[in-house]
Amino acid sequence: MSADGLVLVTGGSRGIGAATATLLADRGERVVIVDIAPEPLAGTATILWPAPFDVASEGGVMAGIADIEAAHGPITALVNAAGVFGKMHSLERVRMEQWDREVNIDLRGTFLVARSAGIRMAKRRHGAIVNVASVAGMTSGPIHAYTAAKAGVIQLTQTLAAEWGRSGVRVNAVSPGFTRTAALEAGIASGALEKERLARPAAMNRLVEPMEVAQAIAFLLSPQASGITGINLPVDAGFLAGSSWEAYGGLPQPPAS
């Protein structure tokens, strides 16, 4: 991040994108948010790009990035937070139009925006990108397109880090666990998900807050992470650490006080 540049946050009107944009703006960064359904973040100093931004449209992304830089200056940091959550189906019920939608937004969209902004950063020899992946891309589950797409984001992150490392551009990923976004809360409210079942495998026995993911993203963008590129940082309340303990009788309970 740089005082004379700006941070672009895709999917910035809601969820992890909104939390990240708010945090960075509160820290004094110039933040532009884009979204397929753009809505301002009330009470923040973020800049809303008013046109719908479709991360899966190659032409739209290229034109949008060019227009944003023409209007607001060079993009020195990018947060790829735009995404859609997977539909839970058995394999035989997966519809290919749903598969294509999730892969197009979650993987293709991440690539298109990273490429368009990252090429510009590489030419200027400065920049940082954080892609939002998921622990779903590191495990298995009945969200077939989503797990495949997020695994692709993790691999893409490493490839881009190697591609642009000598051009001064760092590329990292964060992999949130089950995070209390509006989308997850809607799934819980509908009965498709159970809060207790989501939290139980996590070592910390809880869900992740969007601001906790935002803080990890802010760190990876910051000068404090200047020597870090190509990593995938889980922010999962210990989901990966604790999920296999059920086979051994479950996670231990805290000692009596």
Q: Is the four-CA dihedral 17, 20, 23, 25 of positive or negative sign? A: negative
| CA 170/CA 20 separation, integer angstroms | 18
Q: Is the four-CA dihedral 97, 151, 190, 54 of positive or negative sign? A: negative
Structure tokens at 168: 């001064």
| CA 151/CA 146 separation, integer angstroms | 8
In sequence order, the β-bridge partners of residue 175 are: 234
Torsion angle of alpha carbons 242, 245, 251, 252, nearest 10°?
-120
Structure tokens at 46: 């973020």
Torsion angle of alpha carbons 171, 139, 148, 32, nearest 10°?
-40
Torsion angle of alpha carbons 198, 151, 226, 70, nearest 10°?
-100
Q: Is 146 a catalytic residue?
A: yes
* Residue tagged active-site, from 146, 164, 178, 239: 146
Which residues does the annotation mark as catalytic? Answer: 146
